[in-house]
Structure 1
Amino acid sequence: MLRRPDTDWFLTRSIDLRPPEVDQRLMVGHWEADSVLSGRKGKGALATFVERKTRKYVAYKLRDHTSNSMYLAFKQLMKDFKGAVHSVTCDRGTEFINQQYVSELEASGLSLYFAHAYSPYERGSNENHNGLLREYFPKGGSYVKNPDIKVRTNLTFNLNYLI
């Protein structure tokens, strides 16, 4: 079983180290990420990504709420938006902190930053979009019953044009 990284590991990837152009939303290619669970008894999870400048919202259905599933979602994002994924800022959830997967993503050219603990406002665009997502998928429902095409097409279309 993997252990949680020590504080120094997070400090070397702190949100405080993001370049100013990321904070000021000057360039396309800098994303915020999170996972959204269907609820306590519901099955499934979604990986959600928001591009900071354009506010483009993408949701991928996860097989489960593990670091492996999130890693696959990162790889899919990088494939779908080839050349337009330079950095991702996420929280310190267990699905994001697998050191092996983080190293592989960083080796592929992605910069990964972590928000401070208990500071969702540091990824405000993503949190706002996830709130809108709940209008389509209330807590307690199941993402498993919804086909991928519905999640990836209808949801992202509606949320991208709602904002």
Structure 2
Amino acid sequence: MDCRDPLVDERSTFGNWELDTILGKKGTDPVLLAADERKKRKRHLVKIRAKTADAVAEGLAKLREFYGAQFSQVFRTITCDNGSEFARLQEAVPEAKVYYAHPYAPWERGTNEKQNALVRYFIPKGTDMTNLSEEDVQCVEDWINTLPRKIIGYETPQERFDAALKNLRP
């Protein structure tokens, strides 16, 4: 974290993400991979089979497939915690610069922590995610991304993110 580009901290550039996993019922799988773009506040939720490095890599592969050729422009940096599920993150996303937050410093991934709390409105702690459908997960993601935010001029993260995507080179 000490070497993270100040532009990432300032939220002045697009393509800087925060990653975390959201657990359900203690000791059970699957879990949610949560990815948040720092500037636009866009959130992706991907249901992954477990809280492991392999499962996180599979979840990121789904996002890579979704963005196709634009992936490297959309995911420029990733900041995550020091969980073992992120141990091989640089291998999974070699084109992005990976930063690890300091232990016990959730403010270094503030967007991620705030939006995890929004997920808990729909998926409370202790929920068994086994029967959570892809449609359920998408519904929560859509709600978060279409919620107007004061911090971005009462626009929605989706509106801001879509505008940024239009400015990327093809």
The TM-score by the shorter chain falls in which range?
A: 0.7 to 0.9
* AA aligned opposite 1:155: V
Q: 1:1-163, aligned counterparts within 5 Å?
A: 15-40=1-26, 42-81=28-67, 82=71, 83-98=73-88, 102-106=90-94, 109-152=95-138, 154-162=139-147, 163=149
Whole-angstrom CA distance in 2 between matches of 1:104 and 1:142: 27
Cα drift, residue 104 of structure 1: 4.7
Whole-angstrom CA distance in 1 between matches of 2:10 and 2:112: 16
Q: Tell me whether 68-77 or 85-94 shows the greater mean CA deviation.
A: 68-77
Quote the sequence identity (%).
32
Whole-angstrom CA distance in 2 between matches of 1:80 and 1:21: 26
* AA aligned opposite 1:124: G
Q: Is the 8 A contact 1:44 1:144 kept in 2?
A: yes
Q: Is the 8 A contact 2:25 2:129 kept in 1?
A: no
* Ranges in structure 1 where 5+ consecutive residues have no aligned partner: 1-14
Q: TM (normalized to structure 1)?
A: 0.82
CA RMSD between the two structures:
1.5
Residue-by-residue CA offset, 1:4-42 (whole Å, 9 max, x unaligned): xxxxxxxxxxx1211111111111100000000103155
Whole-angstrom CA distance in 1 between matches of 2:85 and 2:92: 15
* Ranges in structure 2 where 5+ consecutive residues have no aligned partner: 150-170
* AA aligned opposite 1:103: E
Residue-by-residue CA offset, 1:73-103 (whole Å, 9 max, x unaligned): 12222332322110100000010013xx523
* 3-state SS of paired residue (2:125): coil
Q: Is the 8 A contact 1:31 1:87 kept in 2?
A: yes
Q: Tell me whether 41-50 or 85-94 shows the greater mean CA deviation.
A: 41-50
Q: Tell me whether 59-68 or 77-86 shows the greater mean CA deviation.
A: 77-86
* Structure with greater contact order relative to length (CA < 8 Å, sep ≥ 6): 1
Distance 1:144 1:112, change over 3 A: same
In the other structure, the counterpart of 1:6 is none
